Chain A
Amino acid sequence: MLEGARTILGLPEPEMVATLGEWSRELALDLFTAMAQLRAFDERAVILQRQGRIGTYPTFYGEEAVQAASVRALRSGDWLFPTYRQTAVVTLRGCPPLVPLLMWRGHPGGWHDVMEYRVAPICVPVATNLPHAVGAAWGAQLRHLDLVSLAYGGDGATSAGDFHEACNLAAVVGAPVIFLINNNQWAISTPVNKQTKVRRIADKAAGYGMPGVRVDGFDVFACYQVVREAAARARAGEGPSLIEAIGYRLGPHGTADEPSLYRDQAAGLLWEPMEPLRRTQMALVAAGLASEIELDRIRDDTVAGLRNIGDAVEACAPVTIEEIATTVHRETPWGLLPDHLREPSWTPEAADGG
């Protein structure tokens, strides 16, 4: 599955240790910390869902390396276009974790400030975010702004029409955009071999006239390198890139999903040793970049930082529907004003059955 994929952590140990030894300790620890923050968020969100404090939640357990690497490999001014499985990447741009957790509680406070963090609102229908990333990158190029954009997708997204239109348009106009496809081999219950006849999703890039690279999606260092290289190409005016990060969806599609209905759980266990946080920790220790105790402390701190966040999630006061109605347009149309929001026969007294 990983043939042709760039990897560092997958090298024979002496070679891996030697390669990693050339990395700065500061950057390596930063990547590890970002992954730990994402993991702590994800685990906390699942707990909050089990406690009934948030609704159904799409866990990203196992995708931390790709996500952390992608954010850290770009600059703060670059735009990110997430889907529902990357709701926490905005926290790596400084957004309080409370915000994306509120999203999953169904509270409008879950919408983050897109301009402050340069992270677009999540797109729920897969692949619909890809053309947006093309437009932002292309627009930046037209305006001579020094920025690139990156859009996330999964293997399933590559079957959607918007994937094709986005890739084609980006390549034609030379937009500085990175399509980061996390091939976790499952789109809910559909395996990747029923999604496409192409064995390597990266090969699809050739059809659009752009480079496609494969990378070990459980390797934060290799992911960081390939995103950096794609961003450098984009900044140099060499256009878009497609990155296929190969992984495996270690968890369910979401908290409401029951994977035992459709996949062999034993096969999944073969991928469990690739779990990226533990794998990174072992590599950092082996390479002498950090100690086990120090990395444990980083993990413990990130977990501790979110331990009581459920109380804050629950404490957020609900927003009235009248207030929400004023957020749809700049000038609120009459039908969304309080007197017209409901039918003419409605009165406040009617709310009490009067």
Chain B
Amino acid sequence: MSEAAGLNMVEAITRGLGQLLEEDPDALLMGEDIGANGGVFRATAGLLERFGAERVIDTPLSEAGFVGAAIGMCLVGIHPVVEIQFDAFVYPAFEQLISQAGRFRWRTRGAYGLPLVVRIPYGGGTRAPELHSDSPETLFSHMPGLRVVVPSDPLSAGELLLAAARCGDPVIFLEPKRMYRRGRQALPTKFTPGDLDHAVVVRPGDDLTVVAYGAMLEVADGAAARLEQEGVSTRVLDLRCIYPLDRESLLGAAQETGRVLVVHEAARHCGVGAEIAALLQEEVADALLAPTLRVTGMDMPFPLSQNEDDALPSVERVLAAAHTMLEY
């Protein structure tokens, strides 16, 4: 890939992983088909050749086993970055993540954390088979001791990945696979670790805030562009951190724009949108000019490919919600 054209998200992740392995001799990668195959999405392409089979490790097909093993590796000074092949394939490792990884620091009274990153390509919009399009962020942000991070573009993917690896606690790093090859950015040869505590305003505005993350950021921004044409000054907030939420940015959005709309492709029930709506009405209800509406996926299995566009939030659905809020 010519550097002049910039890098897409999956190439940015490859670069970030390479930087991680170069800078941290204790770091290693493990997962299914990540070695010679370079991962099913090629996120680890070329890394086996550069770093060898002791640092880019193909595992047996056993998510609970190798996530559990990564926990044990942390005890002997290793900083594992684990790849889960597809979103729903993390469910077998759920017990290791929530009953073990997330509780480890608490079990040592704060003394020792697990420097573990679990990378998960997630989300819909790629016409994939069943159980290859899930958005499991709520599950992990509801359970204690895990950070949940979602990049939205190549630069944030590289920067947040580096930050996740240095955070000292387990991070569920959800990569919006629909964005893997969608657009290129000129990137630094070395990433500066990003900020795991803050959302980023990607479009300023005063009349309405649309909160989104991952692949939904593109949808949110598309809707914002249309609203701008209608004369509605629309702020777009890239949430990035699902746990912990950036309280200041969210309360600020409510206080400064009076309307906060949340977009996510995960199911609506008990989703991130519900949490944000509850936070706002608990803390800044007086500042709200309209109820916080949610544009989300549906409370059903993520549809097979012919119907996935019915479930995924679209620019039109976001616009309809925005108009409802503006006319409230």
Contacts and interface: CB of A to CB of B under 8 A. Distances in A.
Interface of A: 79, 81, 108, 111, 113-115, 120-121, 123-125, 128, 130-140, 142-143, 145, 147, 149, 161-162, 165-166, 168-169, 172, 324, 326-331, 333-335, 343-344
Nearest to B283: A344
Given A143-B26, A162-B65, A169-B60, 12 more contacts: A108-B109, A113-B108, A128-B99, A130-B68, A131-B69, A132-B69, A143-B76, A161-B64, A165-B68, A329-B105, A330-B167, A333-B243
Interface string B177-196: 00000000000000000000
A145 B100 contact: no
Contacts, number: 145
Interface stretch (B42-50, B110-118, B296-304, B317-325): B110-118
Interface in B175-228: 197
Contact of B99 (A125, A326, A330, A334): A125
A134 to B, nearest CB: 5
B108 to A, nearest CB: 6
Nearest to B147: A329
B77 A143 contact: yes
Interface of B: 26, 28, 54, 59-60, 62, 64-78, 92, 95-96, 99-100, 104-113, 144-145, 147, 167-169, 197, 243-244, 247, 282-283
A201 B11 CA distance: 47
Contact of A134 (B54, B68, B100, B244): B68
A326 B110 contact: yes
B112 A115 contact: yes
A328 B106 contact: yes
Contacts of A142: 28, 54, 78
Given A123-B100, A168-B65, A335 B244 contact: yes
A166 B68 contact: yes
Contacts of B74: 135
A132 B75 contact: yes
B75 A120 contact: yes
Contacts of B26: 143
Contacts of A147: 76
A137 B73 CA distance: 8
A131 B108 contact: no
Contacts of A343: 282
A232 to B, nearest CB: 20
B186 to A, nearest CB: 31
A330 B113 contact: yes
Given A142-B54, A166-B65, A168-B60, A131 B113 contact: no
Given A114-B108, A121-B108, A128-B95, A135 B71 contact: yes
Nearest to A343: B282
B68 A135 contact: yes
B109 A149 contact: no
Contacts of B92: 161
Given A121-B104, A162-B65, A132 B145 contact: no
A327 B110 contact: yes
B167 A79 contact: no
A136 B72 contact: yes
A81 B104 CA distance: 13
B145 A328 contact: yes
8 contacts: A125-B95, A131-B67, A135-B71, A136-B72, A142-B78, A166-B65, A328-B145, A334-B247
A262 B244 CA distance: 47
A134 B30 CA distance: 14
B100 A132 contact: yes
